[in-house]
């Protein structure tokens, strides 16, 4: 029987028997699973609060190094410069600050490590609408701060009697964005053979975000014929009708132009989706599994294993087992993936949402790198059509539902919801196939319900059964 209630066992331990430190949750109120994020102009996304974040960050970093480099980049939101300047005021004169301008989050993470900076910062709300903004912080290795480090920073932000530097000590950031973009572009291009995309036509959708100015050019340098869309950011159109959140535009354009495939990134460039020449979207599980198989064939896959999260379709485990590849599971969030990869010695991991990390290339998920690596993985065998791999790698029937909520009471303290979950587990146990997963989003006020089952009809019915048991007081408007 393939029923698994919530992947708790898989999430807490690995095949190697080590305790996955990504599972240790430190109670937090400010940081979510991917930095700080929210609506611009309301707490905590205000200039005043970002100045406070800067002061606290300066104190944290001075405990480790003085006069070190800090790299700061933004996406294309109209609010980004105000928040960036507030952060500059807070950090003060104790560090050498480099303003990278508009640059994708993965590029900032890579450059932080490459240039020996003590910290890298991306001011972004990722795939959220332009009305939101946020901040992602990387340590000197290009990794997102651990939960413990975030808690330390949070305590400093909220402590009373702030005695850190004043606004009068503000430093002027060095604006040399061209140098840093060129360094990233050299590294990115060096990861692939020259003209490796020759004879391919690709629709590239930058979501009017951070990669709009250079993503298509990088693909073109590898020989691709590029049809660029979502490449005209206005400050208020990031992720609007383009990008990973709105793939319909990509799908229509691929079919209309007769391109071989399409690539869409999110607003800060760390997440990717691809569609085939027929406009059908590759599942995130396809990306991760076929990359793993290709890496294994090239003897590039370390530990004969990959890392993914508890929401990834369990068909991945089945498919990779045939190739001698083990799957480690962790909680949702690319930081958890990265930490689990470090624990298990893996160099490839990711989420079904399209965040994929290859540590041989960069410490952070890079959507553009993932896209080209995936093209290499499928070019020889699949003719850029999902239909050609359907029998080879079928996914388990799965349905998901996201419910907006106004509060997040502990799920285990909601008896009606617990009973509904048990009902679903019992139903799946009778068929011997499937699982149910109910969790809160770490970045949004959302309850996420996932059911894998024997058929799509069964999965839809069971998802609705769970949704009907969510208390009315918790459901948002």
Residues designated as active site? 126
Q: How far apart are CA 441 and CA 33, in angstroms?
A: 8
Nearest to 255 by CA among 275, 233, 226, 235: 275
Task: Give CA separation, 383 vs 122, 220, 263, 284, 421, in Å.
Answer: 37, 20, 16, 18, 41
In degrees, rounded to 5, the angle at the alpha carbon of residue 400 between the alpha carbons of residues 394 and 406 is 160
- For residue 149, with 0-12 CB atoms within 10 Å meaning exposed, 13-18 middle and 19 or more buried, which class applies? middle
Per the CB < 8 A criterion, the answer to whether 125 and 196 are in contact is no
Longest dimension (CA), the chain: 69
Question: What beta strand segments (E) does 139-215 contain?
Answer: 174-175, 201-205
Q: At residue 283, what are phi and psi to the nearest 5 degrees? A: -65, 150
Helices 284-297 and 367-379 meet at what angle, rounded to 10? 60
């Amino acid at each position: 029987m393939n029923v698994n209630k919530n992947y708790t066992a898989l999430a807490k331990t690995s095949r190697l028997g080590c305790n996955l430190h990504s599972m240790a949750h430190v109670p937090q109120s400010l940081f979510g699973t991917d930095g700080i994020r929210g609506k611009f102009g309301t707490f905590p996304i205000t200039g005043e609060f970002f100045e406070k974040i800067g002061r606290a960050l300066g104190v944290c970093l001075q405990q480790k190094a003085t006069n070190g480099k800090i790299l700061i980049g933004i996406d294309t939101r109209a609010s980004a410069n105000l928040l960036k300047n507030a952060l500059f005021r807070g950090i003060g004169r104790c560090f050498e600050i480099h303003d990278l301008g508009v640059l994708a989050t993965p590029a900032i993470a890579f450059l932080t490590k490459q240039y020996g900076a003590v910290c890298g910062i991306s001011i972004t709300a990722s795939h959220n609408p332009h009305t939101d903004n946020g901040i992602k912080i990387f340590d000197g290795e290009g990794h997102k701060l651990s939960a413990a480090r975030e808690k330390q920073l949070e305590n400093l932000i909220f402590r009373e009697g702030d005695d850190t530097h004043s606004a009068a000590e503000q430093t002027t950031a060095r604006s040399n964005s061209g140098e840093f973009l060129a360094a990233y572009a050299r590294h990115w291009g060096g990861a692939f053979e020259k003209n490796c995309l020759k004879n391919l036509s690709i629709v590239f959708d930058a979501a009017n975000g951070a990669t709009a100015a250079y993503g298509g050019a990088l693909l073109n340098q590898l020989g691709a014929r590029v049809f660029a869309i979502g490449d005209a950011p206005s400050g208020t159109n990031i992720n609007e009708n383009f990008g990973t959140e709105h793939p319909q535009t990509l799908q229509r354009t691929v079919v209309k132009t007769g391109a071989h495939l399409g690539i869409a990134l999110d607003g800060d460039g760390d997440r990717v989706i691809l569609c085939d020449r027929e406009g059908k979207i590759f599942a995130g599980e396809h990306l991760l599994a076929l990359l793993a198989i290709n890496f294994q064939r090239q003897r590039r896959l370390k530990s004969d294993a990959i890392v993914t999260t508890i929401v990834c379709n369990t068909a991945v485990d089945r498919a990779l087992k045939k190739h001698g590849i083990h799957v480690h599971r962790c909680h949702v969030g690319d930081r958890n993936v990265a930490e689990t990869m470090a624990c298990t010695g893996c160099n490839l991991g990711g989420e079904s949402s399209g965040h994929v990390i290859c540590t041989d290339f960069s410490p952070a998920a890079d959507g553009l790198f993932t896209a080209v690596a995936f093209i290499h993985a499928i070019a020889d065998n699949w003719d850029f059509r999902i239909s050609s791999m359907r029998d080879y790698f079928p996914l388990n029937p799965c349905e998901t539902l996201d419910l907006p909520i106004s509060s997040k009471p502990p799920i285990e303290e909601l008896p009606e919801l617990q009973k509904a979950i048990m009902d679903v587990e019992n139903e799946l146990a009778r068929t011997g196939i499937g699982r149910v997963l109910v969790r809160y989003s770490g970045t949004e006020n959302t309850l996420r319900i996932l059911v894998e089952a024997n058929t799509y009809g069964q999965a839809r019915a069971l998802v609705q059964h769970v949704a009907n048991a969510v208390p009315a007081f918790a459901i948002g408007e």
